[in-house]
């Protein structure tokens, strides 16, 4: 796999989320172990107090040896080593478990000396739910006489339910990981489609350029023939063919430039040039293109503003902005280009008297293939690539471009060029 910036970011993000998930699982494991230990301590202390109360009732001393033997996590054998009554035992068990806040089901059995068997006591439920007793779960201990056994059938369930918040956190992290992986797969899929689309555009535009070039060569040759020159109607048709072919060729060149600027392989060929001269050339190109009464004024306190940038792309940026100002205008286009200089940056403002842009669309006009929803949209040709190209070139130069509506009419496009 090729390690470009996108792949590195995806890989780091995946490692970070998996790392957090692993840490959460470790925390969950530690919390589970802590809960088991805490439950075991509560049971042990409660059973100790039960034995102590029985001996106190009988006015006997507690045995020195440990009375409580943990067989499994949910099964205990308690050597009382003194006589006791079943009803008293049950009362003490309930009381002591309540003291340590051990709200869980339990069942107990007492060794019967007469029958030499474990005599089942009762199942004590912490809720009103029906329970399934397990009288055969209790086994006798041959080395003990006065003892009882106690079992906690819901103990493992209590471990899990006591960790509800940890399970929620873990579930959220798993959900985030799943969404992240799904988003990455969609992103990679979309990236693949974008690359295929770009390749398709490049191939198709190159395929179009060959026949268009042939049409232009043949049309220009035909336009110079005496038979065509002597026939006004044929001459008009040939000029239409040449004009429309040139227009189509310009669109193809624009698409090629967009496809190139949208790829990661695009490099800028920067050089020092005079900003005012380049803007003036773009102005003359616009005036030659349109036969309308167009007013383009350049306001600058100096004729020499040297900048270091890609002159070709900068010229295209200026041309696209002015061209849009002319096309999206219902009256005689008037465009005022202001150049202001400061210690930190050069500020370019393109102010026109056009139809303006809906405020809701100001944040989307730089999107690829986006065209504003106005009546002019059907009159003005294009693919919605001009301003996308402008934004792309400004971003590559680390310039900032903004567009806002004027108070009366038209818009103001502002480009801030930092001084290096």
Task: List, in order, residues 6 or more apart from 91 with CB less than 8 Å away.
Answer: none
The helix/strand/coil state of 10 is helix
Q: Angle 246-247-249 (CA atoms, 0-180°, nearest 5)?
A: 60
- Nearest CA to 280 out of 297, 295, 302, 292 is that of 297
- Nearest CA to 256 out of 304, 172, 334, 316 is that of 316
The helix/strand/coil state of 358 is coil
The pTM of this model reads 0.47
Q: Which residue has the tokens 């971003």?
A: 395
Separation of alpha carbons 41 and 346, rounded Å: 75
Task: List, in order, residues 6 or more apart from 55 with CB less than 8 Å away.
Answer: 61, 62, 80, 82
Q: List strands edge to edge, sheet with 400-405.
A: 295-300, 334-341, 345-352, 411-418, 400-405
pLDDT at residue number 131: 66
Separation of alpha carbons 371 and 255, rounded Å: 15
Q: Which residue has the tokens 């009375």?
A: 67
Using CA atoms in the order 274, 279, 280, 286, what is the torsion angle rounded to 10 degrees? 150
Structure tokens at 58: 């009988």
Q: List strands edge to edge, sheet with 117-124.
A: 68-72, 75-79, 147-151, 106-112, 117-124
pLDDT at residue number 378: 46
Evaluate the CA torsion angle 12, 18, 21, 23 in order and state its sign.
negative
pLDDT at residue number 414: 92
User: Residue 294 — φ and ψ, nearest 5°?
Assistant: -110, 135
pLDDT at residue number 72: 86
Structure tokens at 114: 């007469």
Using CA atoms in the order 176, 193, 367, 276, what is the torsion angle rounded to 10 degrees? 120
Other C-beta atoms lying within 10 Å of the C-beta of residue 39: 21
Largest CA distance in the chain: 138
Local mean pLDDT, 10-residue blocks, the chain (420 residues): 68 82 82 83 89 87 79 87 86 89 86 81 76 76 85 77 74 82 82 73 68 80 83 83 77 66 66 90 81 83 85 87 85 88 88 82 73 54 70 88 87 88
């Amino acid at each position: 796999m090729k390690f470009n910036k996108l792949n590195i970011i995806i890989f780091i993000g995946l490692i970070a989320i998996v790392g957090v998930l692993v840490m959460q699982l470790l925390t969950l494991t530690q919390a589970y172990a802590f809960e088991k230990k805490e439950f075991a301590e509560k049971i042990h202390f409660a059973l100790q107090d039960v034995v102590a109360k029985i001996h106190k009732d009988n006015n006997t001393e507690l045995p020195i040896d440990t009375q409580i033997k943990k067989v499994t996590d949910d099964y205990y054998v308690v050597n009382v080593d003194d006589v006791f009554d079943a009803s008293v035992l049950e009362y003490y068990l309930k009381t002591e478990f309540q003291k340590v806040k051990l709200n869980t089901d339990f069942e107990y059995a007492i060794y019967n000396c007469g029958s030499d068997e474990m005599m089942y006591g009762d199942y004590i439920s912490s809720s009103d739910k029906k329970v399934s007793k397990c009288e055969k779960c209790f086994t006798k201990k041959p080395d003990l006489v006065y003892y009882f056994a106690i079992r906690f059938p819901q103990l493992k369930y209590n471990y899990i339910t006591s960790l509800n918040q940890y399970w929620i956190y873990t579930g959220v992290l798993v959900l985030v990981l799943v969404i992240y992986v799904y988003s990455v797969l969609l992103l990679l899929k979309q990236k693949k489609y974008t690359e295929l689309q770009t390749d398709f555009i490049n191939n198709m535009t190159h395929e179009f350029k060959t026949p268009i070039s042939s049409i232009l060569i043949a049309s220009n040759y035909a336009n110079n023939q005496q038979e065509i020159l002597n026939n006004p109607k044929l001459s008009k048709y040939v000029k239409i063919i040449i004009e429309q072919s040139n227009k189509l060729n310009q669109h193809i060149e624009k698409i090629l430039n967009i496809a190139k600027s949208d790829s990661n392989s695009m490099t800028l060929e920067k050089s020092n040039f005079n900003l005012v001269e380049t803007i003036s050339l773009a102005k003359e190109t616009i005036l030659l293109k349109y036969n309308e009464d167009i007013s383009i004024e350049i306001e600058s306190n100096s004729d020499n503003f040297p900048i270091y940038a890609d002159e070709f792309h900068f010229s295209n940026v200026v041309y696209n902005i002015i061209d849009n100002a002319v096309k999206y205008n219902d009256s005689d286009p008037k465009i005022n280009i202001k150049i202001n200089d400061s210690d930190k940056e050069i500020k370019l403002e393109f102010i026109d008297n056009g139809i303006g842009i809906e405020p809701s669309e100001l944040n989307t006009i730089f999107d690829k293939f986006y065209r504003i929803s106005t009546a002019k949209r059907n009159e003005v040709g294009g693919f919605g690539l001009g301003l996308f190209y402008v934004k792309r070139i400004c971003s590559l130069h680390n310039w900032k471009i903004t567009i806002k509506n004027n108070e009366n009419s038209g818009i103001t496009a502002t480009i801030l060029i930092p001084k290096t």
